[in-house]
Amino acid sequence: MKLSSIEKKIIENSIRDIKDFPKPGIVFKDITTLLNDREAYGVLMNHLYQKYKEYELDFIAGIDARGFIFGAALAQMLGIGFVPLRKKGKLPYTTISQKYSLEYGVDEIEVHIDAFSKIPHARVLLIDDLIATGGTANAAAELIKQTGAECVEACFILGLTFLDGIKNLQNQTSVYAVIEVN
């Protein structure tokens, strides 16, 4: 399922560019304006529902924190469970974690060890707002795999194609970006 040119424009026009954030030279893609635009958010969520309704998914896993917004809503629409992938130290039960590289250092995300255990070999869609270099997304896909589940696809609202994140993640799973930014 592809977005029509009108739908694509509605979503693109709802995303605000913030120059020099979080540091000089960066153009930050602010999705808060997409979230508070009823029409744009509706177009996006309907598109994601139509795309994934036939995937026979068992869970959606959202990356902390903006992936929670899209993932939980889509999981409810599809009638399946939602699993949060959180920054280290934020989950209350036994977890497994995966480290990943940042521009200046290392970070880590976690998932509950039993997050997908209700369904053996669960089929999981990974979702987040944006993929840039792909470090977090690769770590998240690896965590899903470590639990015994299958990451059938990783979905992002925005894909920064001028960076290697999509290409790198495709070594682990299929990748879909609703809007590609060159």
| Residue ranges covered by each domain of the chain | 57-181
Report the catalytic residues: 66, 103
Mean pLDDT of 88-98: 97
Report strand pairing: 81-87 vs 59-63.
parallel
Q: How confident is the model at residue 34 (pLDDT cuts 50, 70, 90)?
A: very high
Rounded distance between C-alpha atoms, residue 105 and residue 88, angstroms: 15
Model pTM score? 0.96
The pLDDT of residue 102 is: 79
Rounded distance between C-alpha atoms, residue 49 and residue 52, angstroms: 5
The CATH number of 57-181, from 3.40.1350.10, 3.40.980.10, 3.40.50.2020, 3.40.630.10, is: 3.40.50.2020
The pLDDT of residue 104 is: 75
Query: What is residue 154's three-state secondary structure?
Result: strand
